[in-house]
Structure 1
């Protein structure tokens, strides 16, 4: 059975209340003038800012990046451990955090004090479930939206019996632990891949040779048995246009994702109706927008047998008797080559800040023997698959947690109270 409350239809034994009726909502206070050495960069009291609250997805605030002097502590609102905080201004408003330390709080942070009949962790999860709603509905706007104490106080909250609150928080914290574990595994896998790339793509770790002597190149030292050709010596530009108006998918290349289907990725049409001047890019060929490659926007097209890209793109194919495409894209996506592209773009005679094929193809790349390229590409592909698997697991956990929050925090799904310890 349900009944109507200020917080919507809730199960029997649940009540709804405005936040101001179950706690005291106050705002932090910042010493003025901001940045004064009289108050800031001290060693007396931790100083909590919006950046501290929003820097991680953890429930608890365990430390701050800066400290106040004793004089600064006298000019702020000091919060005790266990205080529920909520960011109240700017683009990152509506983010809750529970302080586990005694600290000062600046005026971009609100605090919910003296919670009456509400477990702090339950209130944290409820506010967390409403972050986007706070931004989109309660305090929308341009410039500097503000979630002031009146808006927070007038916001409704559903209140289950205290044992049920604790059980809900316990269940959601279990999901948080699973998410945190997966995030750490993902970060570790990415770091391991980065280290692998550093070793494999410079020849410091060999797979198919015992060569230990090195030679100097602009790329740095590489093994003696590696080549260092210009891109034009191992690749050829492709310039075929979509003159026959093939119904090929329109592709875009981003610095992080590589090639994507423009229509699916952007959820709307972002290209011209007339694609007759677009360039055709076959599967396993390379491409980059000539005016954005300095950002690292270069990709290997593996989505379709044929796609088309904007006329600003440079498209090229490689000599597969000399080059493994997956190896080459790994090299070209490194930070070292992003900097090379940036320098080449700045030095280009094209005043529009573009890097054309002539300048791009003159860039040299380190090239191991082909068999070693295949092995390097295979190892990095395995690392990518591990990262992708962990990312998919993380995304799934976050979606499931979000759905579970929606059910548990509204009473649509009930918990077994007897299990609360």
Structure 2
């Protein structure tokens, strides 16, 4: 293979299984790789270049589209893929003055400031383009470019990058550090086969992602239609919901304020002692970080004792309560308490909305999630220095009240779409875990490919 072996930390150690060798990795740990694989520093596999010194940008260097070239940076690296949805352009002069960082197909970008270590392969012709000072570009690659881009995103390289993180407010990855990254290098035919396998998995994940995004867009449109037009209605009326919102609803739907159709609108408190009184188990104590549009996320839920729970009797949860975040950055986020949730309580940032028999909880939850209601919530709390909803304004929000049976039908239709979305997300997660495992095993030779 090209280049020389890095000295020191990666020397061979004790006996490995037949056909493999042990090399020292970070913090003295050992990694087993095939005997015929090489261990190379990145500088021996490619040239690493960056926009440094006087060749940085000034405001005068930026131009409109069509009057210059694309300037690629960290915003163009998303999930270790090239993302051209956000583009900035610089003059042709800035492009011409630095030919060593002009972008070509099969070059690789690596982010060196901010979220350091993000990687993007230039897998298509992007036209004339250069890079900004926030990234470095890997060029003149002597191995398979796709294989190298996967290697740079694998866990053993990410661990090397994390080791370089500084205590400064803006993390920085130097070109010298990038050049010293260790890559395990098989033969070129094996590189190509590994890259092909991983690329196929990535393509499958992308297909799932596109279908998932399409299904979510369909759900948004379906929600708008069902929550304003209902099912089978032909006559409509214009309704002023306040805050400049005039919407058409079916004539037979009632429009009433929320508090007329609820038995409770209120939030809890933080127990005396704050987080110090939280337990490892006990009664789930729901905080704003647990309330999401797709349901309650309980992986980081806090717990309180039965005694504290009983003292906060006014905010004990009941099944089918709708929970709404009323303060902070997640204001307006809501979800419903499942039927078999059991006991629970909430803090002061989460509001319990408990429906009367006239209002089906599932319908209320979907209406609160809808863009129409989210915009109204934003209108209610707009202009407040500290984001927050008060119970009075919340209770006075106008909502449509169809017949109870129609509320249930609308909820059922949207729930079925949510089930499909959840299944797609689960399948995507399984594929991502498969990719992660394959990357670890293929890029260290634990799984060998036939060539």
Q: Which residue of 1 aligns with 2:407?
A: 373
SS at match of 2:36: coil
Matched, 1:25 2:48: yes
Deviations 1:177-234 (A, max 9, x none): 100000000000000000001111111xx42x43323232315221110001111221
1:240–1:27 CA distance, 2 compared to 1 (3 A): closer
Does 2:299 align with 1:250?
A: no
Which aligned pairs between 1:29-40 and structure 2 lie closer than 5 A? Answer: 31-37=55-61
Q: Does 1:230 align with 2:257?
A: yes
8 Å CA contact retained: 2:42, 2:180: yes
**Partner SS, residue 384 of structure 1:** helix
What secondary structure does 1:306 align onto? coil
Give the conservation status (yes or no) of the 8 Å contact 2:259–2:265.
no
Change (3 A) 1:106 1:366: same
TM-score between the two structures when normalised by the length of structure 1: 0.85
- 2:346 maps to which residue? 309
Deviation at 1:126, TM superposition (A): 0.1
Distance in 1 separating the partners of 2:398 and 2:375? 13
CA deviation after TM superposition for structure 1 residue 340, in Å: 2.6
Unaligned stretches of 5+ in structure 1?
none
- Distance in 1 between the 2:426 and 2:363 partners? 24
Per-residue CA deviations over 1:2-37 (Å, capped at 9, x if unaligned) read 124577432121111111122222213585442215
1:68-147 alignment, distance < 5 Å: 68-76=90-98, 77-98=101-122, 100-101=124-125, 102-116=128-142, 118-130=143-155, 132-147=158-173
Q: CA deviation at 1:79?
A: 2.5
8 A Cα contact 2:224 2:370, kept in partner: no
Deviation at 1:287, TM superposition (A): 3.0
Give the C-alpha shift of residue 347 in structure 1: 8.7
CA distance in 2, matches of 1:10, 1:121: 20
The residue aligned with 1:49 is: 73
Cα separation, 2, equivalents of 1:178 and 1:401: 10
Note if 1:399 corresponds to 2:421: no
Match of 2:421 in 1: 387
Out of 17, 20, 45, the residue aligned to residue 2 of structure 1 is: 20
**Per-residue deviation at 1:301?**
1.1
**3-state DSSP class of the match of 2:173?**
coil
> Quick one: distance in 2 between partners of 1:9 and 1:213?
70
Note the C-alpha offset of 1:78.
Answer: 1.2
Assess, with a 3 A threshold, how the Cα gap between structure 1 residues 173 and 361 changes in structure 2: closer, same or farther. same
Compute the displacement of 1:44 (Å).
Answer: 3.8
- CA distance in structure 2 between the aligned counterparts of 1:41 and 1:98, rounded to whole angstroms: 20
The runs of 4+ residues in structure 1 deviating greater than 6 Å are: 61-64, 238-243, 267-273
Distance 1:48 1:315, change over 3 A: closer
Distance 2:293 2:85 in 1: 34
Query: How far has the Cα of 1:361 moved from its partner?
Result: 1.7
The Cα offsets for residues 22-66 of structure 1, whole Å up to 9 and x where unpaired, read as 2222213585442215767553433212211x14553x5778713
CA contact (8 A) 1:277 1:311 kept: no
Which residues of 2 match residues 166-185 of structure 1 at below 5 A?
Answer: 166-185=192-211
The aligned length equals 405
TM-aligned CA distance change 1:334 to 1:221, over 3 Å: same
Task: State the distance in 2 between where 1:383 and 1:94 align.
Answer: 34
* C-alpha distance in 1 between matches for 2:305 and 2:51: 48
1:237 positional shift: 1.4
Where does residue 157 of structure 1 map in the other structure?
Answer: 183
Give the TM-score, by structure 2 length.
0.80
Once residues 444 and 20 of structure 2 are traced to their aligned partners in structure 1, the CA distance between those partners, rounded to angstroms, is 11
Could you say if the C-alpha distance between residues 312 and 269 of structure 1 is closer, same or farther in structure 2, counting changes exceeding 3 Å?
A: same
